[in-house]
Amino acid sequence: MQQIVVDLSISPDEWIKLYQGVATDVHTTARDGRSVRFPARILSRFYLRDGVRGSFRIVFNDHGKFETIERL
């Protein structure tokens, strides 16, 4: 299994675009410097009134498919 750690700060306005499907993926840089892209939908349970903020560990299987996400 592979994992990445990302630090995110997605404003409510940005989240609306993701939620409405205007944008479907989050593009960011992992802590190790890798550029990563993943489906925004995996963050939906972390959305609060002020958006999505925090550090997250995202785990993928050996084929690059999403397994789980957790807030650190």
CATH code, 60: 2.40.50
Residues with Cβ < 8 Å from 23, sequence gap 6 or more?
17, 40
What backbone phi and psi angles, to 5 degrees, belong to 34? -70, 140
Q: Is the pTM of this model over 0.75?
A: yes
3-class DSSP assignment, residue 42: helix
pLDDT at res. 27 = 93
- State the residue range of the domain holding 10: 2-71
Number of folded domains that form the chain:
1
Which helix (DSSP H) or strand (DSSP E) does residue 17 occupy? helix 12-20
Residue 44 · residue 71 · CB < 8 Å = no
pLDDT at 49 over 80: yes
The torsion angle over the Cα atoms of residues 39, 40, 41 and 46, rounded to 10 degrees, is 140
Model confidence at 28, in pLDDT bands (50, 70, 90)?
very high
